[in-house]
Amino acid sequence: MLFSLLQAETATALAEAVEAAPAPQEMSYSLIDMAAKGGWLMIVLLILSIIAIYIFGKKLWVINRAAKVDKNFLDDIRDYIHDGKIKSAVTYCGKFDTPVARLVEKGIERIGRPLADIQSAIENVGNLEVARLEKGLPFLATIAGGAPMIGFLGTVSGMVKAFFNMANAGNNIDITLLSSGIYEAMITTVGGLIVGILAYFGYNYLTNRIDNVVFNIENATIEFMDVLNEPEEDKKAE
């Protein structure tokens, strides 16, 4: 009887203690808090991500402008050349700020010289335009390859920090001594991979867009040379 009474009182006391105990608080971290635990290398990755975004946005804007070609542009140029209005054709080309317009303008300025010289001048302008479009892309490719390596450096640095804390703690090893090093190791790896992957996909996307512009340039060169050949063929036919 006494044992049953003590058991009931103990159960009642435990229940009251559980009810009185404060509920465990859920720990939550924002992205900024997590990035801060990654150490100073996260600042380097942040700078690289800003540079990558700037290069991508700027090059995308330049490429989009270069890709805009009026469908009637070469037809109008053909009419000007057939009518002998060379200066009007040059002025017309100046209205368009595109690689195609600039290389056609260079070809028109060379009219009267051998066709081989005209084509050579056009190809030189085309090479300069492509180099202008590709300017900055090597740095974006460097970020794509370098950011994961910086993240790996943070991993090694964090693990060294964790083991250093363990060695200094001796027999009093506490998990909190390892947390800062582990955070730095994991977060810098994730940050480096994110920046590298985004830069890699951005680089390949821009490269593909530039290839399309190069195709337009080559196609315009062929059509323009055909325009220059048309009058000579008409004379032979007569």
Query: Greater confidence, 174 or 90?
Result: 90
Q: How many helices (H) and strands (E) does the chain have?
A: 9, 0
Q: Establish how many alpha carbons lie within 13 A of residue 73's alpha carbon, considering only the half-sphere containing its beta carbon.
A: 27
pLDDT at residue 33 is higher than 70? no
- pLDDT tens digits along 56-103: 999 999 988 888 877 788 888 888 888 888 888 888 888 888 888 888
Per-residue tokens: 131: 């180099």
pLDDT at residue 41 is higher than 60? yes
Give the list of residues 6+ apart from residue 159 with CB closer than 8 angstroms, or none.
181, 182, 185
Distance between the two ends of the chain, CA-based, in angstroms? Answer: 130
pLDDT at residue 161 is higher than 90? no
CB 219 within 8 A of CB 194: no
pLDDT at residue 207 is higher than 90? yes
Give the list of residues 6+ apart from residue 204 with CB closer than 8 angstroms, or none.
none
Per-residue tokens: 87: 């200066």
What does R_g of the chain's alpha carbons equal in angstroms? 34
Mean pLDDT is highest, among 26-35, 52-61, 97-106, 111-120, for 52-61
User: What is the pLDDT at residue 55?
Assistant: 93
CB 188 within 8 A of CB 151: yes
Total-model pTM: 0.73
Dihedral of alpha carbons 115, 120, 124, 129, sign: positive
Residue found under tokens 């700020």 = 97
- pLDDT tens digits along 4-22: 543 444 445 434 544 544 4
Give the list of residues 6+ apart from residue 65 with CB closer than 8 angstroms, or none.
97, 98
Mean pLDDT is highest, among 6-10, 112-116, 156-160, 191-195, for 191-195
Percent of the chain at pLDDT > 90 equals: 17
Alpha-carbon distance of 128 to 147, in angstroms, equals 30
pLDDT band of 225, cuts 50, 70, 90: confident
Percent of the chain at pLDDT > 70 equals: 70
- pLDDT tens digits along 122-148: 888 888 888 888 888 999 999 999 999
